[in-house]
Structure 1
Amino acid sequence: MIQVSKDIIDINQRFQKIYNLDKVLNLLNNPQQNLPTISVVGTNGKGSTSFFISKGLLEKYNKVGLFTSPAFIYHNERIQINNKFISDEDLRHYIKITKKYVVEYKLTFFEIWTLIAILYFADNNVDIIVMEAGIGGVKDSTKLMSNQLLVVVSSISYDHIEVLGTSIEEIIFQKVNIAYKNVPLIISMDNLKYKDIIIKSLVNKNAIIWADSYEDKINYQKANKGLANKVLQHFKINYDLNNVQPPIGRFTQIEFKDIKIILDGAHNVDGINQLINSVNTKEWTVVYASIETKDYITILNTLKNNFEKVYITNFEYFKSWDINKINHNLKIKNIENFILTSKENLLICGSLYFVPLVYEFIIKQK
């Protein structure tokens, strides 16, 4: 497997005004049109929900594709068939054959991964795909999956406002209108407070099905599993999600030496609130790290209002914040030494580019 710390795609473009993946797909005779797709959008819970759905679909389909992001430990995680990661050999093959399109059409990072996934799934004749959107819906390369069976909407809140808009109305509009005409939406119960906005936002006036809660030990997974369960019911699949563990980095609990550690990729205000509600006791020492574009001031205030000790730290990533510029008393210069010497239970959360680094370090120590 190829670790995410290794750059395997020679591209720095993340966003741009004009996206060109549709032009490339036209040249390739639009292979995505032959791929039945469940589109998953939302702010929080997309990854867990997508994973739960893909597990259940295996009860009915022989080949289930899963496209998810970001990768946690390995690049290969993004593209899966029957929950098995794409091999290193296949991944390098598709990177090589798509490179000419990347250069000529100036594809962005996420467009490249979407293209690789489409070609891989098409070549392997998958029966159905669960396609997790990146940050958007309308403004997302996964919108090009036109053979759409269903749209699944996890918890919506404020995030990526520099792209999606600064109001909840703008964000909801971007998310829900990934749906093509006559394609129903199944929506998380977390979004019931936005019911009127969602109905008003739908350009195609799609049918809406509201999901229920599903009993789970992790509080914030109740809505995600309820959403996945409603999707599986839509496909007439009866599948027990009770024993299905979420992907790594979603309330991952680890026994380390004499302490307990929870790792969670909660990185926006809503995600942090959901994480807090899932912790049975507030007697945890918190370690938080962010990228510079997040509302980390609000997040830090929220954490400090709920926990006695909240530390912050830097990490290796080009968008990582600089804690030297943050007005906060408890700062960690070396996260590895801090973990090794801690006598207190740790709740480590924040950027999905930070939490995997911590996870890898802990696993190596164990």
Structure 2
Amino acid sequence: MKLFKLFEGKTFKIEPGLTRIKKACEKLGNPQNKFPSILVAGTNGKGSTCAFLENIFRIHGFKTGLFTSPHIVEENERWQINRKHIENRKLEEYIKQIKPLIQKYELTYFEASTLLAFKYFADEEVDIAILEIGLGGRWDATNVATPEISVITNVSYDHMHMLGNTLEKIAFEKTGITRVDKPAVIGRNQKEILYWLKERKIKEYYVKDNDFFIEKICLDMFNYKFRNYSLNNLKISLIGDYQIENASTAITSFLIYSEKNNINVNKDLIKQALIKTFWPARLQKLNNNPITYLDGAHNKEAIEKSLATIKKLYPDKEITVLFSGMKDKEIKENLEIIFNYTKDITFTQIPVSRSIDENYIKEIFGNNFIFIKDIKEALLEVKEKSKKEEKIFLIIGSLYLSGEVLKHFPP
């Protein structure tokens, strides 16, 4: 039994607020307060930052809890201890425990997922839990935790129908995870974030390019400096300038936590952690013939960065794209970014109700497009085309698309 099965066919009027999740947590004895935690918010890079941060803690001997969303292939991915997914048997036990609370307080799927994470991590007595914000921050269910550090990777345009249509409004929501008396780490120096930190009277915060610094050597290597810490020739397993940003944010968060908790920092272990960190569907290389990358980018900034990275890696190669996405995203704007790099796009449909379909694409392009509904068929056809034409094959547009691809063609 999976948690999402309890929610199939149900519709929820999602109302902002933490009342429901707080009441449910109280009934379980507030498990979220029984372990130290770090909250990670931001438009892009949350998952990768969580992955880097968890690995750094774990390689230093910590028993780690990791809660992220959405899952890519299996629901169990959402709840991890020491990077091992929760077992089916345990998952079923926890679902039985929290089912009455889900029904009593009419919890949403994400609230229920969060409640399960809190209980699981408390029962397993983790040393630290890394909690990824689901949406926004201020009213996110994870925000009932009491974080030792709040991390904000960056703000950009996504989920505007819920978070607001300006960076100022989005930053207001995301800085809602900060605490006046606890440190915050900011992965990108953006005036909108800094404004709200000051307005919220956050006493201690550390900002990239103000407090910690990076020197990029290449797409997967950099030097790092924060106070008296210098780390040189750091190599990361995840590709891209933005992953260097995420890695440096994770390092800073760990160093601050270590200082406040008298933990011995081992620079060699940090280096090992960065090179060993894996996070699926973030420019994940699937194949060498043709060269194939899978990326879950689904907003303008993320798509731009992914395509720019591909061109840096293969400046003399053309790109062919397999694309799908959700109707509530800025599909037209996302495609405009892709068209700056290639006109060779094939569309497919994700088997969920929110996915774009042939009619949706027809409204944008008329009849001038290629659409293959079945993802497996689309993958095989575009793969053969890329191979024949010696192009880079990029699958992009949605984490849900990434999940479907990995189901058919696991790495």
Give yes or no for TM over 0.5.
Answer: yes
Contact 2:178 2:202 in 1 (8 A): no
Counterpart in the other structure of 1:104: 104
Amino acid across the alignment from 1:350: G
Counterpart in the other structure of 2:205: 208
Counterpart in the other structure of 1:288: 323
**Matching residue within 339, 362, 365 for 2:379:** 339
Is 1:255 aligned to residue 287 of structure 2? yes
Counterpart in the other structure of 1:274: 305
Counterpart in the other structure of 1:235: 257
Counterpart in the other structure of 2:217: none
Counterpart in the other structure of 1:164: 163
Displacement after TM superposition at 1:15 (Å): 5.2
Contact 2:64 2:126 in 1 (8 A): yes
Three-state SS of the structure 2 residue aligned to 1:354 is helix
Instruction: Give CA-to-partner distance per residue, 1:106-152, whole Å, 9 cap, x none.
Output: 00010000000011111111111101010121110011002x10011
- Identity level (%): 31
**Matching residue within 224, 229, 246 for 1:224:** 246
In structure 1, stretches of 5+ residues that fail to align are none
**Cα distance in 2, alignment partners of residues 235 and 29 from structure 1:** 26
**Cα distance in 1, alignment partners of residues 402 and 100 from structure 2:** 34
Three-state SS of the structure 2 residue aligned to 1:231 is helix
Instruction: Give CA-to-partner distance per residue, 1:200-234, whole Å, 9 cap, x none.
Output: 4x413242202334635423211111111111222
Counterpart in the other structure of 2:116: 116
Structure 1 or 2: larger helix share?
A: 2
Larger Rg computed on CA atoms: 2
- The TM-score with structure 1 as length reference comes to 0.91
**Cα distance in 1, alignment partners of residues 255 and 109 from structure 2:** 34
- The TM-score with structure 2 as length reference comes to 0.81
**Cα distance in 1, alignment partners of residues 185 and 74 from structure 2:** 30
Contact 2:175 2:193 in 1 (8 A): no
**Cα distance in 2, alignment partners of residues 106 and 356 from structure 1:** 28
Displacement after TM superposition at 1:167 (Å): 1.5
Instruction: Give CA-to-partner distance per residue, 1:60-106, whole Å, 9 cap, x none.
Output: 44311111111011111111111111111111110111100111110
Three-state SS of the structure 2 residue aligned to 1:250 is coil
Amino acid across the alignment from 1:338: A
**Matching residue within 347, 370, 375 for 1:312:** 347
**Cα distance in 2, alignment partners of residues 71 and 312 from structure 1:** 23
Contact 1:218 1:278 in 2 (8 A): yes
Is 1:144 aligned to residue 144 of structure 2? yes
Displacement after TM superposition at 1:351 (Å): 1.2
Instruction: Give CA-to-partner distance per residue, 1:248-301, whole Å, 9 cap, x none.
Output: 111110116x31210000001111111122112361101111101001111101
**Cα distance in 2, alignment partners of residues 242 and 21 from structure 1:** 34
Contact 1:14 1:108 in 2 (8 A): yes
Amino acid across the alignment from 1:311: T
**Cα distance in 2, alignment partners of residues 40 and 206 from structure 1:** 18
Root mean square deviation of aligned Cα: 2.1
**Matching residue within 189, 192, 196 for 2:190:** 192
Counterpart in the other structure of 2:5: 8
Contact 1:253 1:261 in 2 (8 A): yes
Distance 1:170 1:192, change over 3 A: closer
Counterpart in the other structure of 2:389: none
Distance 1:349 1:15, change over 3 A: farther
